[in-house]
Structure 1
């Protein structure tokens, strides 16, 4: 015996399977490609707008909060451990436009010595900026985004499938309750009138 809802449930399961195997990966792939294109353009623009310029250590920077981020000798064994931080230095550099700059930057080596040379990333006016996005990092982030979107699409498909099956089961139970109610007064006696 096959109820119409059984056939509908089978078609819903088949459609969900197709969505899992074809649609969700395709959505993730397309989304990953779009994110990769956007990130690659951003990485290219950053490489065009940022410059690696030489800088010179002037002196160690003054402690801002009176702490270097390292454990102090007075810290006991039960004291929370602080993560070591790179020390800050005052450095000077010349921007791509020829302007002179001086500012506080994290030290490249421990301990930094005045006069040591290192390089910093700046914008065209010589202001400090972060390192430009690496193309391989952009591709990795795009792949992660595509995978997350594919998994999200698969989760959405499974949620819809479960809701449809739940609704079908609810309808089956309502029909079963009605059938029991109709057969209830005479159930088991086969019309004997007792």
Structure 2
């Protein structure tokens, strides 16, 4: 029964209108776009973002290096806050003065954030520029890059699905308005001949 109801728009019958056929094709096209286009768009977006982020990972690792440093002075523990991206509570940190040796053999000092369980005299690993003259933020992690690429792909897939459904709904609204206008014209024409002899009424 359900198949016959869905297929009546495709069969020739006196009740079928051109708008019915157009609506059926619009529904089929939307289904194809969502089933094929949305995954393709999601994959393309994820691949593009992933490629860009992996290049960023390679560039940052090429421009920065980890080297040993010694904590000279450590301040009080800072109140931990939550990571806006993950919502997880970050590790407690403290501001400290650290010293390290650059590639030219010179010693450098700087104020950096270290883990709260580290104190004066402890040795830590410090990210610096390639020559070791200044501290630098940690480079982007490959796992984080992959996660962002996956989220970009999923977001694009969902956006494509929503846009496809919105486009279909907008088209159906215009078709319904057109169909109602056709019915109004046909009822007006039928009313003029209603009950007249020889008019079939």
Q: TM-score range by the shorter chain?
A: 0.7 to 0.9
For 2:20 and 2:103, the matched residues in 1 are separated by 72
Match of 2:21, SS state, is helix
Residue of structure 2 equivalent to 1:137: 144
The one of 9, 22, 38 aligned to 2:36: 22
Structure 2 stretches lacking a partner, 5+ long = 1-14, 81-89
Partner residue in 2 for 1:179: 186
Alignment map for 1:18-57 (pairs within 5 Å)? 18-57=32-71
Match of 1:124 in 2: 130
Which residue is equivalent to 2:97? 90
Q: 1:175 to 1:54 in 2, by over 3 A?
A: same
Per the TM alignment, residue 167 of structure 1 is displaced from its structure 2 partner at its CA by 0.5
Q: How does 1:2-17 map to 2 (within 5 A)?
A: 2-17=16-31
Structure 1 unaligned blocks of 5 or more? 71-82
Is the counterpart of residue 69 in structure 1 residue 79 in structure 2?
Answer: yes
Q: Report if the CA contact (8 A) 1:95-1:124 is conserved.
A: no
Query: Greater RCO between the two (CA within 8 Å, min separation 6)?
Result: 1
Cα shift at 1:3: 0.5
Q: 1:27 to 1:151 in 2, by over 3 A?
A: same
Return the alpha-carbon distance in structure 2 between the equivalents of residues 19 and 42 of structure 1.
33
TM-score by length of 2: 0.76
SS at match of 2:111: strand
TM-score by length of 1: 0.79
Query: What's the RMSD between the two structures over aligned residues?
Result: 2.4
